[in-house]
Amino acid sequence: MSKHLTRELVAEQAIIVDAPKPRHEVDRTFELPKGLYAATVALYLGFLLVMAAGLSTPGLVIPMAIFTVFIVAGFGVPAIWTRLAPETASKQMTFSKLRRDGIATLTGRLSARDASVQMLILPIIIFCWGVATVSIATLVR
């Protein structure tokens, strides 16, 4: 059965405590150096530039603009998000620290070279695919 509790009864029995403090620090740095993220964005935008220059038609202006906005937003929003965090002790890793210590992943520790290769391999392949596609399209015309 249920019992109706009045506000006065609850107020007599209630213990008011301060809100708990966070027990851990939130790291919003994404750990890797900014240069690797900048290289990723540059390669994706470079792909769009190669495709827009090599296959320029009026019908592709709007899709290319939309793709550009998506790429800028996809990397810009997380960059803004990292700056919204309250002041914390965590700082983004510098490239010299990455070279010295490497980075821990789920499959083990990676050197700076291995981490850079893993991060940049897909953007490099996409950029090279764009160059190859435009080259083929130019030779076929």
3-state percent breakdown (helix, strand, coil) of the chain, nearest 5? 65, 5, 30
Query: Residue type for 7, please?
Result: R
Interatomic CA distance for residues 15 and 40, integer angstroms: 53
For residue 49, tell me if it sits in a domain: yes
Query: In terms of pTM, does the model score above 0.85?
Result: no
Judge whether residue 66 has pLDDT over 70: yes
For residue 62, tell me if it sits in a domain: yes
Q: pLDDT tier at 96 (50, 70, 90 boundaries)?
A: very high
- pLDDT in the model for residue 4: 85
For residue 18, tell me if it sits in a domain: no
For residue 63, tell me if it sits in a domain: yes
For residue 120, tell me if it sits in a domain: yes
Domains identified in the chain, total number: 1
Judge whether residue 22 has pLDDT over 80: no
Q: Are 47 and 126 in contact (CB under 8 A)?
A: yes
For residue 104, tell me if it sits in a domain: no
Q: pLDDT tier at 88 (50, 70, 90 boundaries)?
A: low
Look-up of token digits 């520790």: 109
> What integer is the mean pLDDT of 48-69?
94
The lowest-confidence range among 20-34, 68-82, 96-110 is 20-34
Interatomic CA distance for residues 72 and 55, integer angstroms: 22
Nearest to 41 by CA among 14, 78, 11, 4: 78
For residue 78, tell me if it sits in a domain: yes
Question: Domain limits at 77?
Answer: 30-84+110-141
What letter would DSSP give residue 59? G
**Residue 118 to residues 8, 43, 98, 124, Cα–Cα distance (Å):** 63, 14, 14, 11
Judge whether residue 90 has pLDDT over 90: no
* % of the chain surpassing 70 pLDDT: 92
For residue 117, tell me if it sits in a domain: yes
